[in-house]
Structure formats: C-alpha cells, structure tokens
Structure 1
Amino acid sequence: MTSLRRIGLEENNLTGPIPKELGSLVNLWELQLKENYLINGSIPKEFGNLTSLSYLLLYSNKLTGHIPKEIGSMTAMRMLLLQGNNLNGPIPSTIGNMSELTTLLLFQNKLSGEIPSSICNLRLLSLLHVADNHLEGPIPKCLGNINSSLWLLNLGGNQITALQSTFAEGCSLQALTLNGNKLEGIPHSLINCQRLQSIDVGDNEIRGAFPFWMERFPQLRVLILRSNKLNGTMLEASKTEHPFPKLQVLDIARNDFVGSLPDRYFKNFGGMIDAKENLTRDEKDALQEFIDLSFTLKGLDQTLRTLLDTFTTIDFSSNKFSGNIPVSIGTLNSLRYLNLSHNTLTGQIPVSLGNISLLESLDLSWNRLGGKIPSDLTGLTFLSKLNLSMNNLVGQIPQSTQFSTFQNDSYVGNLGLCGVPLTKQCETTDGKPMFPQEDEDKESGFIDGFGWQSVVMGYGCGCIVGIGIGYMFVRSGRPRWLVDFFFGMDIVIVR
C-alpha cells in the first residue's frame, strides 16, 4: 500500500516488534501505534526512509533498544512522541536534522549520555520533555538560542549537573522543570523569560541565598525550591513593589533558611489572597498535561498531576525559621495548604489564621509555639488535617464539630493541653475537674455513689440471710405450698 498516508492502530492490544516493512511506506504522513504492548524490539532503522512522515506516535509501549540514528533522515517530522517505553542509549545527534520538529517527548525511558548540542538546531521546537531518564552532564549552552519558540522545558529526574544556557530577551519559556538533578545553581539570565509560570528546581544541590530576583516574574504561579542547600534569610530589602504577584505555590522545604518568616511576601501574594482562573483553555491543558508537581500534602508526599487554577500551598517546613508567625499570613484568603513544621518558631498561634476560610491542611508541628489554641480556628470548616504536635501549647483544646474529627496525634507533645480528645481533663478556676471522673488507675464506680465494695457486701449478706430463711422453711415444712413448689411433693419432713 505504497500510497497509504495514515495508519492509526493506537490503543489496542498489539504485541511483538514493529515490522520493519512499514519503512517502505514512503508516502506515509502519520503513524500512530501508541498505547499498545509492542515489545521485543526497537524502532526500525528502516523508518529513516519515511521522509514524508510528520507525526510518529509510539508512546506507552514496551519498546527497547536505541533510538536509531537513521531517524534524523525524517526531515518532515513535526511531532516525535516516544515517551513511556524502555528505550536506552544516547539521544542521537542526528535528531538535530529534524528542522520542522516542534514537539519532542522522550520522558520515562532509560536514555543515557549527554543531551546533544545539535538539539539547538531545532529552531521551531516548543516542547522538550526528556524527564525521568539517565541523562547526565550539562545542559547545552546553546539551548538559550532557541528560546524564541521553546515554551516548555522538562529535564527532571536525570543526573544533569549544570544549566549553562544564556536566555536572551524575548524568551518564550513558560514552564521550567529541572527537579531531581545535580544542579548547583540557576543562571540569572532566566529573568529574561518573563512569561514563566512554573519553576521547579527541587531536589538538587543549589547553594546560596534565596533567589530574590525571581520575585520580578509577573506571571509566576509555581516556585519549588525544596530539598536544596539554600541558606540565609528571606528578609532582604527589595525595590520590587509587588513581589510574586500571581504566586500560588511556594515550596522551600528542607533547606537551611534562618531568621523570621517573610512578612512582606505574605502581604503581596496576590495569587493566594484571591486565586482566580487566569489561563486560557489551551494554556491550562498544556501545563496540566506536562507538569508533574510533588508536594507534601496533609502529611503525605504526593505528586500532583493537575495544577488546579485555585490550588495554593506554602511549605516552609524543615528549615531553621525562628520568631513569631506573622499576623499578615491571615490575609491569604485563598490558601489551602500551610506547612510551617520542623522549625523553631515561637510565640502564639496568630488568631488571624482563622480568617483563611479555605484552609484544608495546617501543620505547625515541631516548633516552640506557646499559649492557647485560638478558638477562631474552629471556624475553618474545610480543615481536614491539623497537626499542632510537639510544641508548648497550653489550655483547653477548642471544641467544635470540625475539631472533633482530629485525634490525639494532632496534639501530642504539648504537656499543657487538656480536653477532648486527650485523656487529660481541664480544671476550672477552683481547681476542680471541668468534667469529673474517677482516676484512671482505679476501677470505675457505679452510679448513685455505690462502688463495688458496697455491692459485694450487700450481695454476701443477702445470700446468708436467704440461705437461713430457706433452711427454716424446709425444716418446718411451712408454708407447705412454698416447700412443694421448690422441692416437690415427696419431701419428707423430719421432726
């Protein structure tokens, strides 16, 4: 069928290798074999003959082997989707010959070696996603030369050591994901990418101070710096009038930040004060499909595949922040997840936290917070996870329908707390228990003041009296009807 233009056999149960004879269909324009069970082979090198092929979709199979260098002969290729296989070896340098290529998706394979510099020849490339492989070495310096078209760059989950690219003005990059590599820094030239909406460089080896220069990104919604080696304070004076105006996600957990929490930021996080849908449908679909975000939500590490328009979180956990929690944090009306655990915060829990009506998870554990738990927190009707453990809190735990769902582990380690759900009862001002009950080390008593001792004594005396009266009835045989009822008619009375 040499005139065949399109083959669509996707989403079936096809097995075995891809037949090399498909390479003789020189007029083929589109080939879709995605989401099958193709195995026991790689991409046939005969595919190099398909010079008219523009769309090759082989993803979500079990293909093995190398990507053949002959693939570079497919100069009409626009979309090359090979993700979700077991392909290994290097990315062939001939891939730079695909001058029409706009989308290159190679993630979730076993590719190794360095990213070839020839990839910078792809002037029309808009999506480059090669995450979750075994790639190493630096990112090519020339990658910044194609920034007029590239809007998504995802190289996460590799062994990449440096991002050396220089991003020029006019950069179109909207999403940058480099998490899970070995980066030690981020070039300041990235500030030229003013369209950036998401930056994820977590789980690297980035050193130095907090990147204050990033607060000038006008569209930035997600900033993830977790699990690096950043240090210093977040209190540096800045000339930016409205820092991070649209930020909805800030994750700096597991670093070495010190000093007070950044009150200035809390007052200006417009995206957390009033989260609104601010993306077109196409932008939303693209970002949600290709960005995987990992967070600690409600105490569990989770991967969020869908970035909701109204999803908001602040995670400052596992640092060395000290001082009070700023009252200004209560202005973040649209905040849903707040984690300040494992720091050395002092003072009291601010009453203003009760203003964050959409809050679903609050973790202030492992700090040095004191005072009482504000009763205002009982108004957080969406709160499903609360952890105030390992602090110095005192007084009665507020009682409400919402708070009744939290167990002991939400409060453990606060020796001054009392009340439900803890076993320690609160005392009134006169020193008497607010809810009287017997000591836990003693047996529970009965109602009306009768304990087990009284009951046993009464039972014993009753038995003795009853046996005596019964003996007298039997001995005397009177009244006769009672004796006959219990002992029968044939009893002989001995006189």
Structure 2
Amino acid sequence: MGNIGFLLPLMVFVVVLRNFVVNLSAESPNTTIDLLALLALKAHVTHDPQNLLATNWISATSVCNWIGVTCGSHYQRVTALNLSHMGLIGTIPPHLGNLYFLSKLDIRFNHFRGSLPMELANLSSLKHINFGHNNIRGEIPSWFDSFTQLQSLFLHHNNFSGLIPFSLGFLSNLEKLILYDNDLKGQIPIAIGKLSNLKRLNLDKKQLSGQIPSALFKCRALEFLSLSYNALEGSVPQEVGNLTRLKHLYLDSNNLTGQLPMALFKCQQLEDLYLSQNALEGSVSQEIGNLTRLRQFYLFDNKLTGIVPQEIRNLTKLGWLHLDHNNLTGKLPSALFKCQELESLWLSNNALEGSVPQEIRNLTRLRWLYLDNNNLTGEIPSTIRFLPFLEHLDLNSNNLTGRLPALPPSLFGLSILDNNLIGEIPSSICNMSSLQYYLILSKKNLRGIIPECLGNISYSLDFMDLSMNSFHGKILGNFRRSCLLRSFCINYNQLEGSLPRSLVNCSKLEVLDVGNNNIKDTFPNWLGNLDLQVLVLRGNKFYGHLDDFEGRFSFSHLRIIDLSHNDFNGHLPSKYFESLHAIRSGSENKADLKYMMSNARSHYFESFFITTKGLEMQFRRILIPLTVIDFSNNEFNGKILETLGELHWLIVLNLSHNSLMGHIPLLLGNLSALESLDLSSNKLEGKIPAQLVNLIFLEVLNLSWNNLMGLIPRGKQFDTFTNESYIGNWGLCGLPLSKECSNERNLEPQPTKFDEDSDSVNWKFSILMGYGCGLVCGLSMGYIVFTTGQPWWLVSIIERGQQKYVIRGKIRRSGGRK
C-alpha cells in the first residue's frame, strides 16, 4: 500500500510534464511568427522620435511585454497592436499579415506612408482598424471584405484616392465607417445601405458627387451621419425619416437643392442639424418644433424664405441657431426669446424688419448676437445690458435709431456701423474693459468729442473704427505703451489738431487712416519705426517738405500710402521711396491672395478709399498684394524721380494735380505690375516714353493736361486707351487722337494753360473733363460708392479671390462635433 501511494503522485507529475512539453513545442513556433512580424514592422520604421520601439522592442523579452502589444491569455498570441500618437515615420510591411490572431490594429496619429500591403487580408480576426491621421496613399483595397468580423474602420485624414469600394457593403458587422478628409471621389456606393449595424458614417471633405442614395437610409441604426464638404447635389431624400435613432446629421457645404423634406422632422432624436451652405429653398417648417432635443441648428447661406416660425419656442435645448445669409422676412419672433439656452444667434443678411424686442434680456446665456444687414428699426433695446455673457454684438447695416445705450461690460467686440444713431458715445463704454477684438462705430451720425478713455482700452483692442461720423476736437492722445491696436480708422470726421505722438506706443499698428479731417501737421516721420502697411493722410491740412526725410525711420513694410489732397510741397522724397521695401520686393507668395488681418483675433477688415479718374471708392478689405502710392492734389514740384521705377510691385501710382516738371522717366517702364498710372495736371514735357508700352497690366492711363509732345506710342495696352488719356497736351499726335504727325510743326508743343500759372483755370479744365481729384469729402459712402462707371480693373484688384466668410466661419463650429 505504501508503494502504491508513492506511485500515484509520480504518475500525475509525469502526465502534467508531458502536456507542458507538448504545449511548449506547439506554441513556440507560432510565437516566433509574431516576433518576426513585429521586428519587421520595427525595421520599416525609419524614425522613432521617442525611441519607444528602439528601447523596448527587443527579442530578449517576450513580445507580450512590448509597448503597444497585447497578447491573449490562453495562447500568448498577439491580439492587439496600438502604436497611436507615437510620431512614427515609416511603411507598413507585408509581414504584419502574419499576426493571425490580431483583432485590433491602431496606428493613428503617426506618419506611415505608402500603400497597404495585400497580405493584411490574412487578418481575418480583425474587429477594429484605425489608420487615421497618417500619409497612407492608394485606393482603399477591395480585399477589405476579408475582415468579416470588422466592427470599426477608421481611414480618415490620409491620402486615399479613387472610389469608395463596393465591397465595404459586405462588412455586415460594421458599426463605424470613418473615411473623411481623403482624396476619394465618385458617388456614395449603394452597397453601404446593406450595413444594417452601421451607427456612425463620416464621409466629409472629399470630392463625392451625385445624389445622396436613398439606399443609405436603410441603415436604420445610424446615429451619426456626416457628408459635409462634398459636391453632392439633388434634394435630401424623404427616406431620411427612417433614421429615427439619428442624433447628428451634417449635410452642409454641398450643392443640395429643393426644400427641407417633411420626413426630416420625424428624426426626433436629432441634436445637431447642419444644412448650411447649400441651395435649399422654401421656408423653415412649423414642424421644426418636433425636434425638441436639438442643440445646434445651422441653415445659413441657403435660399430660404418666409418667417422664423413661432414653433421654435419648443426647442428649449437649442444653443446654436444660425439662419443668416438667407431671404427670411418678417419680425423677430417673440417665441425665439423663450429659447433660454441660446449661446449663439445669427440672423444676419436677411430681410428681417421691426424692432429688437426688450425680451432679448431672457437670453442670459447668449455670447454671440449677429443681426446685421437686415431692415431692423427702432432703438437698440436698453435691456441688452443685462446679458452677462455677451461677447460679440453686431448690428451693422440696419435702420436703428436713437442713442447708443449702455452695453454689457462683457463684450469682446462691438460693431454698429451704418445705422441712424445719434448723440455722443456714452461714457459707459469706458467700463467695457473686456473689449479685445474690435470696436466699430463708423458710418453713423455720432457727434461730440471722442472719449479719452478709448485710448486707455487700446491696450486690448485689435481694431478701432470711428470713421464717417461728426466727431470734433482732437484725436485721442493717450495711447498706452502696451497699446495693441493693429488698425485705427477715424476718416471722415471733423477732427483737428496734430497727430498724437503717443501713436508710437502702438507697436503692432499696421493700418492708420486719419483721412478727410482737419488735421494740421507735418509728415509723421516718427511713425517710421512701426510696421505700418497702410498710411492714409488724405484730405487734411498736412504741410511741408518730404525731401528732408532723414532715413532714420524706414517705413519698409508700407504698401499703401495716400497723402493726396493736402498742402505738401517741395520735391518728391527720394530716400522715402528707397525705403519702401515691401513695394520693391512684393509679397512672399504672389499667388496667395490673402486679406490683411485675417487671423482669428480680427473680426473686421480695414477699409480705405482710392481715387482714380475722378471716382472715389471705399473698400472694406485689402488684399495683401495691393500696393498704392497717391501723392495727388498737393504742391509737389521738381522732377518725377527715377527711383520710382524700382518699385516693381507697385499697382497704383497717382501723382496728378501737382506742379511736377521735366520728362516722364524711362524707368517707369520697369513697373511690371502697374495697373493704374495718373500723371495728369502737371507740367511734364517731352515725349511719352516708348518703354511704357511694356506695362502689360496697365488698365488706366491719364497723362492729360501736361506739355507732352510727339507721337503717342502704340501697341499692347496703349491700343486700348482713348483720347481722354491725352487731352490737354497740344503737342501730342497720332492715334487715338485725330491729329496726325504729318510734319515737324505738329510735333512742337503749343502753349497750355499751365504756362500761364493759372491754377484756377487748370482746376476748371480738370473738373470739366472728369479727371479732377476725388469727390468732395463725405460724398462717398458705402462699400462701393459708385455702382456704375467704376473701373472694373480696380474692383478686381481688391475683390478677386474673395471668400464668403471671413472670421465668422471659424466661430460657426466652435460648438463642436461629437
């Protein structure tokens, strides 16, 4: 019996040992396969910024202990690989297809490039793939249908091209399909409608075209559907009503037409509805009241008509309502002010009328309020001051009357230009210490003295525009050393005195426009140490010489300089022109037509006036490549400097209505970008240089009322100019003039009115012929003063490349997507 008791434990030990040896011999080769596959991946990584693989993936330790590797508990095979957010650079090797037990592969937020190897089709156990935010190229492989257990497929933000493969429709277990931000094109495959378990589909930011297939709405499990930023057309299918679980629908920025389908309002789980920037028509249905869970409703930039329905009061969770840039009419509905969760309300650029009701005080969470460009009347409600979180208020271009009321001190930006307000700027504006973006109070009927406290808040403001009012007194003179102003515009007022020297404290100042006031001062050389890009002094009483410019201040960034309609005299300043490096070298990227101050902190763009051929126009935005020199209507004398011929990127040059003498410099023919040249009403003599024919972009030429003689050059742009470009030069001959150059006598200049030194007669001729100075100060109002007769060449300079939305587009989605 004792021997039997000894043998039984021994037999059990032998059996266990045998099984262990058998399992070890069976598993070891398979573990080696996983090891070799991962080492191959490591070898294909050319850059490992954190040295994670270099120091951790070593054969001396089990792969199950490697960073990013997860193994199964039974067979110790690799079941998950997560290398996300490691900054790795490299390619995916075919050996990775040997990880047969792999169920999760996540390499998002790296820099893997190249195409996907076909050997990955062997990974039939995969349930989750995430290749997002890499540089993988090529077509999405059709062999993805090998992943029959796949539940999520993330291929977003890569360089995949071609069509969305039909085979994706066979992934019956797929719940998430995320393909946005690739180079895919073509139509949405109907086969996606077979994915009955699909909950999340994102096909944003591609080149998808055609109509939205009605089969797509067979995916009744969908909770998130985004097809934004494509070229989809047609109407929104009525079948959208099948998606009763849908919470987030994004169809914005396409070419969709037709009316909003009534079936859409059956999707009562909707929280986010984006249909903006399409061509949708019709009205906002009363059925909108059914979507009681709605938080974000974006319908801006469509062709909607009708009124805002009263049923909108049912949307008690609504936080973002953007209906701007449509054709909505009627009054602001009182029901709207029952949506007390509203944070952002955009109704601008419609045809709304009536007053802004006092009930606006109910929207205590409101941060953005844009009611600009409507037909609103009445006074600004006094209750607006009770909105404690209001940050941006825009009431531009309405018919609002009365005085400017006390406003909430929480405002970051305020714009109420182009209304009929009266009175002075209220002293309460001094309490608005939060102002840090823009203060726009231009083009109204405000009067009085500009409060000194505005100089104190310049330490936080980017943009201040008080232009086109009736302010008198002196310009603000207390700009702090911490002044952050980038643009200061006070044109078309009745301000006097001199320019305040404290402006030098505004070290970031790019635009200074004090035009059309009564300022009396010498040229502000002391501003030259700033990085000014636009300097407008036109229509004042500036006086003195510019030729004593000492060069201590460079003005090297200046691109637009307007000194017209002042009392400057003496010779043109050679050192000044030599310092204009921005006009000499041009912008860094000539093809990149960006506007000034187009970053996230600037909401508005600076405006300025240009006078050409007697037309004065105001433009609200300035393209960076635009360059202008306007010294017209002063008392400059002497010769036109050859230095001007070195300003190769100059587009507009106006030296008209001075007393300049001598010949037109041959070097002006080097101004290859010049589009407008006005040297009229001077005392220039000699022949028109043939080199000017080389100015192939020249659209406007005015050499009238000088002492020029000889044959008018022909060819290129000169073949397009009419008699008006040369009138008042009795010695000129040849086309387009009727006077032929038949003999020497015709080439000799005849005495002109300038020889008699009669400035008054000179002005009469200029005005009669339509080539005088710009219109009298104050006649030009609006964004473009003249709707007919304006030079199209100039409009194209300012407005080409124009975008529909400036900074507002960056705010629109700040609510975010889930």
TM over 0.5: yes
**Change in CA separation of 1:352 and 1:71 when aligned onto 2, cut-off 3 Å:** same
| Pick aligned residue for 1:194 from 469, 489, 507 | 507
**Change in CA separation of 1:274 and 1:298 when aligned onto 2, cut-off 3 Å:** farther
The alpha-carbon deviation at position 383 of structure 1 amounts to: 1.4
Aligned residue in 1 for 2:634: 319
CA–CA distance in 2 between the matches of 1:265 and 1:189?
A: 23
The alpha-carbon deviation at position 338 of structure 1 amounts to: 0.7
| Pick aligned residue for 1:406 from 688, 703, 721 | 721
Which amino acid letter does the alignment assign opposite residue 17 of structure 1? K
Aligned residue in 1 for 2:279: none
Residue 38 of structure 1 pairs with residue 352 of structure 2: yes
| Pick aligned residue for 1:121 from 431, 437, 445 | 431
The alpha-carbon deviation at position 425 of structure 1 amounts to: 2.5
Q: How do 1:445-460 and structure 2 match up within 5 A?
A: none
Contact 1:140-1:165 within 8 A present in 2 as well: no
| Pick aligned residue for 1:8 from 282, 304, 322 | 322
Residue 222 of structure 1 pairs with residue 537 of structure 2: no
Deviation string 1:407-442 (CA, Å, 9 cap, x unpaired) is: 22222211222222223332567x899xxxxxxxxx
**Change in CA separation of 1:396 and 1:72 when aligned onto 2, cut-off 3 Å:** same
**Change in CA separation of 1:178 and 1:382 when aligned onto 2, cut-off 3 Å:** same
Aligned residue in 2 for 1:59: 372
**Change in CA separation of 1:367 and 1:288 when aligned onto 2, cut-off 3 Å:** farther
Q: How do 1:162-177 and structure 2 match up within 5 A?
A: 162-177=474-489
Aligned residue in 1 for 2:448: 137
Runs of at least 5 residues in structure 1 that lack an aligned partner in the other structure: 434-495
Aligned residue in 2 for 1:437: none
CA–CA distance in 1 between the matches of 2:595 and 2:686?
A: 47
CA–CA distance in 2 between the matches of 1:236 and 1:35?
A: 50
Contact 1:142-1:165 within 8 A present in 2 as well: no
Contact 2:595-2:621 within 8 A present in 1 as well: no
Contact 2:659-2:682 within 8 A present in 1 as well: yes
Residue 70 of structure 1 pairs with residue 383 of structure 2: yes
| Pick aligned residue for 2:404 from 91, 94, 117 | 91
CA–CA distance in 2 between the matches of 1:282 and 1:186?
A: 24
CA–CA distance in 1 between the matches of 2:672 and 2:640?
A: 18
The alpha-carbon deviation at position 62 of structure 1 amounts to: 1.0
CA–CA distance in 2 between the matches of 1:11 and 1:405?
A: 40
Which amino acid letter does the alignment assign opposite residue 203 of structure 1? N
Question: If the length of structure 2 is used for normalisation, what is the TM-score?
Answer: 0.50
Deviation string 1:206-232 (CA, Å, 9 cap, x unpaired) is: 112222222221x21111111112222
**Change in CA separation of 1:24 and 1:372 when aligned onto 2, cut-off 3 Å:** same
RMSD over equivalenced CA pairs, Å: 2.3
Deviation string 1:154-193 (CA, Å, 9 cap, x unpaired) is: 1111111132341111211001111111111432111111
Which amino acid letter does the alignment assign opposite residue 382 of structure 1? F
The alpha-carbon deviation at position 285 of structure 1 amounts to: 5.9
Contact 2:402-2:422 within 8 A present in 1 as well: yes
**Change in CA separation of 1:134 and 1:277 when aligned onto 2, cut-off 3 Å:** farther
| Pick aligned residue for 1:296 from 597, 603, 611 | 611
Aligned residue in 2 for 1:231: 543
Aligned residue in 2 for 1:378: 693
Deviation string 1:4-31 (CA, Å, 9 cap, x unpaired) is: 4333333344333323444444333222
CA–CA distance in 1 between the matches of 2:415 and 2:694?
A: 47
Deviation string 1:268-297 (CA, Å, 9 cap, x unpaired) is: 111111121589889336769432221013
Aligned residue in 2 for 1:416: 731
Contact 1:321-1:344 within 8 A present in 2 as well: yes
Aligned residue in 2 for 1:256: 567
Q: Which has the higher contact order (CA 8 A, sep 6+)?
A: 1
**Change in CA separation of 1:382 and 1:170 when aligned onto 2, cut-off 3 Å:** same
Residue 104 of structure 1 pairs with residue 414 of structure 2: yes
Runs of at least 5 residues in structure 2 that lack an aligned partner in the other structure: 1-313, 748-818
Which amino acid letter does the alignment assign opposite residue 568 of structure 2? F
CA–CA distance in 2 between the matches of 1:32 and 1:369?
A: 56
Contact 2:525-2:549 within 8 A present in 1 as well: no
Contact 1:16-1:39 within 8 A present in 2 as well: yes
CA–CA distance in 2 between the matches of 1:34 and 1:237?
A: 48
Deviation string 1:123-144 (CA, Å, 9 cap, x unpaired) is: 2212111111111112111112
| Pick aligned residue for 1:179 from 471, 479, 491 | 491
| Pick aligned residue for 1:369 from 675, 680, 684 | 684
CA–CA distance in 2 between the matches of 1:234 and 1:314?
A: 14
**Change in CA separation of 1:359 and 1:272 when aligned onto 2, cut-off 3 Å:** same
| Pick aligned residue for 2:598 from 271, 274, 284 | 284
CA–CA distance in 1 between the matches of 2:453 and 2:524?
A: 24
| Pick aligned residue for 2:662 from 340, 347, 372 | 347
The alpha-carbon deviation at position 363 of structure 1 amounts to: 0.9
Aligned residue in 2 for 1:245: 556
Contact 2:597-2:605 within 8 A present in 1 as well: no
CA–CA distance in 1 between the matches of 2:652 and 2:483?
A: 32
Give the SS at the match of 2:518. Answer: coil
CA–CA distance in 2 between the matches of 1:432 and 1:82?
A: 62
CA–CA distance in 1 between the matches of 2:660 and 2:537?
A: 21
Question: If the length of structure 1 is used for normalisation, what is the TM-score?
Answer: 0.81
**Change in CA separation of 1:227 and 1:56 when aligned onto 2, cut-off 3 Å:** same
**Change in CA separation of 1:142 and 1:389 when aligned onto 2, cut-off 3 Å:** same
CA–CA distance in 1 between the matches of 2:566 and 2:595?
A: 35
Contact 1:288-1:305 within 8 A present in 2 as well: no
CA–CA distance in 2 between the matches of 1:346 and 1:27?
A: 69
**Change in CA separation of 1:396 and 1:86 when aligned onto 2, cut-off 3 Å:** same
CA–CA distance in 2 between the matches of 1:343 and 1:199?
A: 24
Farther off after superposition, 227-236 or 260-269: 227-236
CA–CA distance in 1 between the matches of 2:393 and 2:667?
A: 52
Which amino acid letter does the alignment assign opposite residue 292 of structure 1? S
